[in-house]
Amino acid sequence: MKRKLSLFLVLCMMLSAFVSCSEDQNDPADTTGTASGSETQASTDTGTPEEEFIPHYEYTPSIVADPDFYFVENGTSDYVIVYRENADNATNYNMALELQSYIEKITGVQLPLVTDETEAVDHEIVIGLTNRETEGQFDRTALTDQGFEIDVRESGKVFIAGGDDLGTQYGVYHFVDEYLGCGLYSPEFEYIPDYDSLGLAYGEDVQIPVFLSRTVGCKLYYGYQEKMKMGGHSVHAGHTLPRVCGGFANSGDPCLSAESTYTAAMDYVLGVLEANPDTYYIGIGQQDGPTYCTCDTCLASYDIYGYSGHYLRFINRIADAIRDDYPNTLICTFAYDFTNAPPMGGVVPSENVSIQFCMSECCRIHPLADYNFGTTRKDIYMPDNITFGELLGMWSDICDKIAIYHYSPNYGAYNSITPNILDLYDDVQLFYENNAKYVYIAGNTLSKMGEFDELRTYLISKIMWNPQMSREEYYAYMNKFLCEFYGPGWEYIRAFIELADEETADHCLGESTMLFADPISITPMDNDYIDSLIAKIDLSALTIDQITDPSKVDWDSLYEQIPEEKRNFNRLMADGYIYFAKATELAETDEQRAHIDQSSIQLDVNYSTLIYKNSLPRVNILKRIYLAAIKPFIESGAITDIDSYTYIYRFESVILDSIYSQQNSFLREFNEALYEKMMKYGITHLMESNNSFINIPKEQMEFTNPPTGGYGTSYTSWYPHA
């Protein structure tokens, strides 16, 4: 992609707008607004007392401080927006309307819309293909149908030209987002700055996407993705093979060695193409799960070609049969589950075959490149200890039409903490480096989320459009979103994102449950964290008589020496609630507070899960206090190891039993509040299952289990919808 050549929105006033997210409201970062490009990572290891921790992040606004000219100045403009009137195609007119609308929202000035049949004037913003162009001004073949060029001439004319209609749409929305300073974040929230002047610098900006398709499977963004320059020529294998071959959707894969299977598949493919000869792709993917044929012929083929090679030979036969008559149609199939390993026996995909590579067994909270795929995906044809990056490279070596199926959320608990915001940068770069052409990143296709759905989707749209951007650019986009979406306390949200990444560095979602993981795998009870809090309590005055008869000690007074905000299962939960509270405290508007509140649902979901699995935090902390208190007496020999078990049991029965009895009522109350919170923000599904809905009458619910999925947690007891 050819990057921008000094062509940005030029408004000195925009700088103060970015800074106002923090500086005007007790800026926790003391941001000066200088375009330093540097960033100090939040850390509590700074010598500052932990309770006074203040995050510090900087961002560089994408503006030029000294414009070459203004097309809106002090609330007035003599510019017009020019489009080509075409009764058969309304794209240029619609995009002219969009641009007119956004400029008016920003400045209050409505630029007139005129067709290219009117007489040309000096000051015009020209949309799409019109007679205002000089011959050869834009190489639309080079731009392709999705690319565009923004040309700001010294004459004062501005051109937004797409290679085709789709490119024109992308060009206008890019201009609105990157040049006018708007934030096209979601259908429910767009950031619109308030200025009375808008300026530009002279230059040319050519943008051509690297990936032919860029898609996020997220219900919230259906119908909005064009604004984020997502879309294009998608391909998807789908679990279609049984149906394609005349069976039923869930009947398992047919025998690919049988001629009747090939005949049925060809009849299906030709039927699709005869009805629509311009079909871009036809998906023929294996059934979900290991449902391959086990007849003698197929088993012998697996030994020669591997699972993927056996399937690919079948797909190649179909692709070869249609290539001459339908040269623009791809057959897309999976490298997924038992077909992840590359083919053997010299089998390679035909030139009109696309391989959609899936990473379902990988941990989604760490970069994919170094993940040991060979350990997780244990089948007899998978190379030992091969990394995901190496495996993708092997497929890339034999296929130049790689499609990616990436999994972003935790399908077992959509609204739980899933810290992969930072890792997505590395993953998309990996796809780019391995010449992927089509990238689909799966999201929540059933409902909204109480996590970082909007942030994740926005960043995915940016990195997929330009996978060559630097990490600093990626972080700048993240900081811009956080500032405008969450308000002045945005840096505390950023600190939480960093903390979640740090605290989960050494553990994964779970080897066997990568897609449907229990939230507790992200935030397990951390005894080291609890012990670090207890270490600050002076237990030296306790006597052996008090240890052996725990009723003689005011344990609550010891418990209360731990700061209330720190009494949690682990550091991520404790500091996470602190950071979200600080962000809420600094928010200026009800909308910002609502954004923070909705995103905090992820903490509530993990907290509910931890209580259900490990009892109340108070129980855990008190027990650890007693263990710390009895330890010196065991070490000195005053209490034997055998006797210690008796005293620990006595402590539990005398001190903890009454607290245990409070757990169910507390959890019920907590989950009732969480249910109301989910309903408030339109969250209707818990996990990837049409049966996991929660939009049922409250009186039909029993609040006993937490509102989370994953293994070991029952949905029907918390949401008895069956």
Task: Give the position of tokens 């902390």.
Answer: 621
Confidence at residue 363, expressed as pLDDT on a 0 to 100 scale: 82
Contact between 630 and 534 under an 8 Å Cβ cutoff? The reply is no
DSSP letter (8 states) at residue 175: I
For residue 282, what is the enclosing H or E element?
Answer: strand 281-283
Distance of CA 615 to the CA centre of its chain: 31
pLDDT digits (tens, 9 = 90+) for 450-467: 899 999 999 999 999 999
The CA distance from 65 to 68, in Å, is 10
Q: Which two tokens stand for residue 319?
A: 């692709």
- Phi and psi torsions of 252, nearest 5°: 90, 160
Report the CATH number of the 231-469 domain.
3.20.20
Confidence at residue 714, expressed as pLDDT on a 0 to 100 scale: 35
The CA distance from 384 to 340, in Å, is 13
CB-hemisphere CA count at 13 Å for 522? 32
The CA distance from 623 to 657, in Å, is 11
DSSP letter (8 states) at residue 441: E
The CA distance from 618 to 612, in Å, is 13
DSSP letter (8 states) at residue 550: G
Can you give 684-714 as a three-state secondary structure string? CECCCCCCCECCCCHHHCCCCCCCCCCCCCC
Strands (E), 408-478: 436-442
CA angle, residues 391, 396, 399, in degrees to nearest 5? 130
pLDDT digits (tens, 9 = 90+) for 263-279: 999 999 999 999 999 99
CA distances for 719 relative to 291, 416, 722, angstroms = 32, 17, 9
Helix (H, G, I), strand (E, B), or coil: what is residue 66?
coil
Confidence at residue 21, expressed as pLDDT on a 0 to 100 scale: 58
Sign of the four-CA dihedral 293, 299, 301, 302: positive
The CA distance from 129 to 373, in Å, is 49
Contact between 228 and 456 under an 8 Å Cβ cutoff? The reply is no
Confidence at residue 718, expressed as pLDDT on a 0 to 100 scale: 41
Confidence at residue 674, expressed as pLDDT on a 0 to 100 scale: 87
Q: Which two tokens stand for residue 721?
A: 């919808």
Confidence at residue 692, expressed as pLDDT on a 0 to 100 scale: 58
Contact between 177 and 88 under an 8 Å Cβ cutoff? The reply is no
Q: Which two tokens stand for residue 640?
A: 């034997």
Q: Which parts of the chain register pLDDT below 50?
A: 1-20, 22-49, 64, 695-722
Contact between 340 and 329 under an 8 Å Cβ cutoff? The reply is no
CB burial of 55-86 (b: ≥16 within 10 Å; e: otherwise) equals: bbbbbbbbbbeebeebbbbeeebebbbbbbee
Report the CATH number of the 69-200 domain.
3.30.379.10
- Phi and psi torsions of 2, nearest 5°: -80, 120
Please name every residue paired with 114 in a beta bridge, in sequence order, or none if there are none. Answer: 82
Confidence at residue 45, expressed as pLDDT on a 0 to 100 scale: 42
* Largest separation between any pair of C-alpha atoms in the chain: 101
- Phi and psi torsions of 73, nearest 5°: -140, 125
DSSP letter (8 states) at residue 63: B
Q: Which two tokens stand for residue 688?
A: 């990837």
Contact between 237 and 333 under an 8 Å Cβ cutoff? The reply is yes
Task: Give the position of tokens 């092997």.
Answer: 394
**pTM (predicted TM-score):** 0.89
Confidence at residue 377, expressed as pLDDT on a 0 to 100 scale: 63
Confidence at residue 634, expressed as pLDDT on a 0 to 100 scale: 96
Domains of the chain, residue spans: 69-200, 231-469, 519-718
Q: Is residue 309 classed exposed, middle or buried when 0-12, 13-18 and 19+ CB atoms within 10 A define those classes?
A: buried
The CA distance from 231 to 166, in Å, is 9
Confidence at residue 719, expressed as pLDDT on a 0 to 100 scale: 36
Confidence at residue 446, expressed as pLDDT on a 0 to 100 scale: 81
Please name every residue paired with 434 in a beta bridge, in sequence order, or none if there are none. Answer: none
Cβ count near 460 (within 10 Å) = 27
Contact between 567 and 561 under an 8 Å Cβ cutoff? The reply is no
Confidence at residue 547, expressed as pLDDT on a 0 to 100 scale: 96
Contact between 613 and 520 under an 8 Å Cβ cutoff? The reply is yes
Torsion of CA 98, 102, 107, 113, to 10 degrees: 0
Confidence at residue 518, expressed as pLDDT on a 0 to 100 scale: 82
Helix (H, G, I), strand (E, B), or coil: what is residue 69?
strand
Confidence at residue 495, expressed as pLDDT on a 0 to 100 scale: 96
